């Protein structure tokens, strides 16, 4: 989080940036950073940066279904009530939808409320209704029909590419309602008030959120400025809505800073891996929805597969693996490839062509893992809050509704703030008050979203007992068919056998603490790949269109989130030092030391953190991230010669191939040491999903 003025970044190939810069140059004076004029090669000095600013009423971070629904609803209220409101959506992807991935079957309840006439709108992508729903239990060679919970019925639902749905929703927001959408703008830090001007949910005096700052552009891997350097831009906002999806980087900062999980269960996660195939016409059954339990996962691992027959001869298939899995030798990617060797999938895919691949973390915690949704100056929306109904295997409807509810509260908060500002003009010296969004928290818990999550709150935790998948199936069957959540108890999520292993702060992952040491397991022997049915990882990653500039700061920081927040806020000591390079490598921190933003002690601590990461993750967990990451980002490689200044252990060092990253967030969630903090790279980097 930063205390900052505010800034504009320009990217050569992003029209949205050019449009914004042109408008800013027309309407206000931009201040140019002195350090930018010094040319390339100089260390980045956060104190010397002057940022161009833009003031908005509501800044929404994340151009997914939740953020776009909030934006549309705000502009609808503008039309209904007559007061103009400026709404800006910042999206880190190169275009809307390029970072969006889901199954996906959409329940249109929220869409019906937001856009009642959507069925008559041109080019809407909900063209394939679900026609049937089945659940199958897989053994190694058989697929056995089993009853599915009533929540998994799909009458009235639609099979879509969520990426395409999101792009359509963005077109509606821009063309019909005048929402300003800026792709390629990666929200990097929360912009905080200079002083503690607000009271949080727990009665503490805290600094309020006053907007966001986007990422710097044109830094080298070692935090030196290129000739093309541009400071990040600050968007000052009366209300900041975080709609980044599961485990968002700014949401983590807000949760940490305002202790939003104090009264909630820890969030739990899964990784969803997806492929899209164009199948042989003889295998295509438009509208068919199938879900799978059992093989290839073992009885102690929660998860399952899906097959959705989309429009135009395409089939979406994939595997969800809960990230509380115990065996560090498991590879979710290899489990997906193995699943396709089953006779059911062989028959489906024979003669077909794979056209898409991707992966994304999703929330599983449900009702009991909901944090406080509002904080001074802003709120959490959609999967940033954790609104997936895991029994339905759907979350888009809840994400959209949460965005609509947040928009209604934001509208009221902005009108109140405008009235207060008018009074302050009349009274000299009156202090500007932070925006109060607590009405959103209340509205959410009075809405059908709360009811949707509450009814199924005990289903996912029921799989966490010693009875594993069988115990969960039995309890879930009774609860979903008969009890329907009308019971006086709410299960907690299971903890590790050794309570001391549990992660306790608001941003650490409970799932990571349930990973067992390698000594308790044997390596898993996966079957060889059988192209084109199953392929090696890099062949799949090529289908994502992922690209990052290689010579930019590593966005996968080797540092605990709480320490990252403290360092980048300047809270480690005198409050004046801001170490923007923390976790980015010894060379990057050393460059910051040259300008006084870090010390030699910080450089040594950076090296020590890397060494400790390798010692634990290689020595105790057999290099889990090498197998867990669905994009091949992490390697633990042998060190030649006398070693490396980056921090080595027992002849091994960590190599982060950040250019491969598909922004799934698995590493941040699953790493046993909880010392990978996912931050945003330069805007427009990452995957370019089109049919996911």
Among this protein's residues, is 664 annotated catalytic?
Answer: yes
Please identify which of the residues 8, 33, 102, 561 carries the catalytic annotation.
102
- Provide the terminal-to-terminal Cα distance of the chain, rounded to the nearest Å: 32
- Cα 585 to Cα 458: distance, rounded to the nearest angstrom: 42
Among this protein's residues, is 59 annotated catalytic?
Answer: no
- Cα 304 to Cα 324: distance, rounded to the nearest angstrom: 14
> How many residues make up the chain in this entry?
692
For strands 53-61 and 87-91, give the pairing: parallel
Q: Report yes or no: 686 and 92 within 8 Å, Cβ to Cβ.
A: yes
Among this protein's residues, is 396 annotated catalytic?
Answer: yes
Mutual angle of helices 396-426 and 438-445, in 10-degree steps? 150
- Cα 547 to Cα 672: distance, rounded to the nearest angstrom: 27
Q: Between vectors from CA 654 to CA 680 and to CA 187, what angle results, nearest 5°? A: 5
Q: Report yes or no: 92 and 66 within 8 Å, Cβ to Cβ.
A: no
Q: Report yes or no: 77 and 413 within 8 Å, Cβ to Cβ.
A: no
Among this protein's residues, is 383 annotated catalytic?
Answer: no
The residues, any chain, with a CB within 8 Å of residue 429's CB and separated by 6 or more, are: none
Instruction: Tell me what percent of the chain is helix, strand and coil, each rounded to the nearest 5.
Output: 35, 20, 45
Q: Report yes or no: 284 and 315 within 8 Å, Cβ to Cβ.
A: yes
Closest CA to 213 of 39, 400, 6: 6
- Cα 327 to Cα 161: distance, rounded to the nearest angstrom: 32
Please identify which of the residues 249, 629, 673, 684 carries the catalytic annotation.
629
Among this protein's residues, is 102 annotated catalytic?
Answer: yes
- Cα 94 to Cα 92: distance, rounded to the nearest angstrom: 7
Which 8-state DSSP code applies to residue 551? S
Please identify which of the residues 513, 590, 664, 677 carries the catalytic annotation.
664
Mutual angle of helices 65-81 and 396-426, in 10-degree steps? 50
Phi/psi at 352 (5° precision): -95, 180
Q: Report yes or no: 299 and 464 within 8 Å, Cβ to Cβ.
A: no
Please identify which of the residues 334, 667, 677, 679 carries the catalytic annotation.
667
Q: Report yes or no: 414 and 85 within 8 Å, Cβ to Cβ.
A: yes
Q: Report yes or no: 402 and 444 within 8 Å, Cβ to Cβ.
A: yes
Please identify which of the residues 11, 73, 360, 610 carries the catalytic annotation.
360
Please identify which of the residues 94, 208, 268, 396 carries the catalytic annotation.
396
- Cα 339 to Cα 526: distance, rounded to the nearest angstrom: 11
The residues, any chain, with a CB within 8 Å of residue 579's CB and separated by 6 or more, are: 567, 568, 572, 589, 592, 597, 598, 602
Closest CA to 380 of 370, 389, 388, 390: 370
For strands 634-638 and 234-242, give the pairing: unpaired
CA distances 311 to 107, 110, 286, 342, 347, Å, are 16, 22, 7, 24, 20
Q: Report yes or no: 328 and 516 within 8 Å, Cβ to Cβ.
A: yes
- Cα 537 to Cα 692: distance, rounded to the nearest angstrom: 18
Give the CA radius of gyration of the chain: 24
Q: What residues are annotated to the active site?
A: 102, 360, 396, 629, 661, 664, 667
């Amino acid at each position: 989080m930063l205390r900052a003025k505010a800034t504009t970044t320009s990217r050569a190939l992003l029209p949205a940036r050019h449009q914004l810069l042109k408008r800013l140059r027309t309407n206000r004076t931009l201040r140019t950073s002195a350090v930018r004029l010094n040319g390339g090669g100089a260390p980045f000095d956060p104190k010397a940066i002057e940022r161009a600013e833009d003031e908005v009423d509501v800044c929404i971070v994340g151009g997914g279904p939740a953020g776009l629904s909030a934006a549309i609803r705000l502009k609808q209220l503008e039309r209904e009530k007559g007061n103009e409101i400026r709404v800006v959506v910042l999206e880190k992807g190169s275009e809307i939808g390029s970072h969006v991935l889901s199954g996906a079957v959409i329940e249109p309840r929220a869409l019906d409320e937001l856009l009642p006439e959507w069925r008559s709108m041109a080019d809407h992508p909900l063209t394939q209704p679900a026609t049937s729903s089945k659940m199958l239990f897989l053994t190694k060679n058989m697929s056995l029909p089993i009853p599915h919970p009533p929540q998994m019925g799909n009458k009235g639902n639609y099979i879509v590419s969520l990426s395409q749905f999101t792009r359509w929703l963005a077109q509606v927001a821009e063309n019909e309602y005048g929402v300003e959408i800026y792709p390629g703008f990666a929200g990097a830090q929360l912009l905080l008030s200079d002083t503690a001007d607000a009271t949080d949910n727990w009665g503490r005096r805290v600094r309020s959120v006053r907007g966001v700052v986007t990422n710097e552009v044109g830094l080298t891997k070692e935090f030196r400025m290129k000739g093309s350097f541009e400071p990040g831009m600050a968007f000052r906002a009366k209300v900041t809505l975080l709609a980044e999806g599961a485990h968002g980087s700014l949401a983590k900062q807000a949760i940490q800073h305002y202790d939003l999980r104090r009264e909630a269960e820890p969030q739990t996660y899964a990784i969803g891996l997806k492929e899209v195939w164009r199948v042989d016409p003889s295998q295509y059954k438009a509208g068919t929805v199938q879900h799978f339990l059992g093989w290839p996962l073992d009885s102690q691992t929660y998860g399952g597969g899906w097959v959705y027959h989309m429009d135009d001869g395409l089939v979406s298939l994939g595997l969800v693996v809960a990230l509380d899995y115990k065996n560090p030798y498991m590879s979710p990617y290899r489990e997906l490839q193995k699943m396709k060797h089953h006779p059911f999938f062989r028959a489906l895919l024979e003669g077909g062509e794979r056209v898409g691949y991707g992966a994304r973390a999703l929330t599983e915690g449900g009702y009991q893992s909901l944090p406080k949704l509002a904080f001074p100056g802003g709120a959490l929306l959609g999967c940033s809050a954790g609104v997936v109904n895991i029994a339905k295997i759907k979350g888009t409807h809840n994400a959209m509704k949460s965005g609509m509810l947040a928009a209604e509260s934001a509208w009221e908060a902005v009108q109140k703030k405008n009235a207060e500002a008018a009074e302050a003009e009349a009274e000299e010296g009156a202090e500007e008050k932070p925006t109060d969004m607590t009405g959103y928290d209340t509205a959410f818990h009075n809405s059908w979203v709360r009811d949707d999550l509450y009814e199924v709150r005990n289903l996912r935790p029921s799989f966490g007992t010693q009875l594993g998948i069988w115990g969960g199936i039995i309890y879930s069957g009774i609860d979903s068919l008969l009890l329907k959540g009308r019971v006086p108890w709410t299960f907690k999520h299971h903890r590790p056998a050794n309570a001391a292993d549990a992660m306790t702060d608001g941003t650490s992952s409970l799932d990571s603490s349930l990973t067992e040491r390698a000594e308790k397991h044997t390596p898993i022997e996966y079957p060889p790949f059988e192209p084109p049915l199953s392929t090696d990882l890099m062949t799949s990653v090529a289908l994502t269109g992922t690209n990052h500039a290689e010579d930019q700061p590593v966005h996968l920081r080797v540092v605990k989130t709480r320490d990252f927040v403290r360092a980048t806020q300047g809270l480690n000591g005198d409050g004046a030092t801001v170490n923007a390079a923390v976790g980015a490598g010894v060379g990057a921190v050393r460059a910051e030391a040259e300008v006084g933003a870090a010390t030699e002690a910080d450089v040594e601590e950076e090296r020590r953190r890397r060494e400790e990461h390798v010692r634990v993750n290689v020595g105790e967990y057999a290099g889990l991230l090498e197998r867990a990451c669905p994009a091949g980002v992490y390697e633990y490689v042998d060190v030649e010669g006398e070693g490396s200044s980056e921090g080595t252990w027992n002849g091994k060092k960590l190599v982060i191939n950040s250019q491969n990253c598909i922004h799934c967030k698995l590493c941040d969630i699953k790493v046993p040491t909880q010392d990978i903090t996912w931050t945003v790279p330069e805007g427009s980097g990452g995957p370019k999903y089109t049919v996911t």
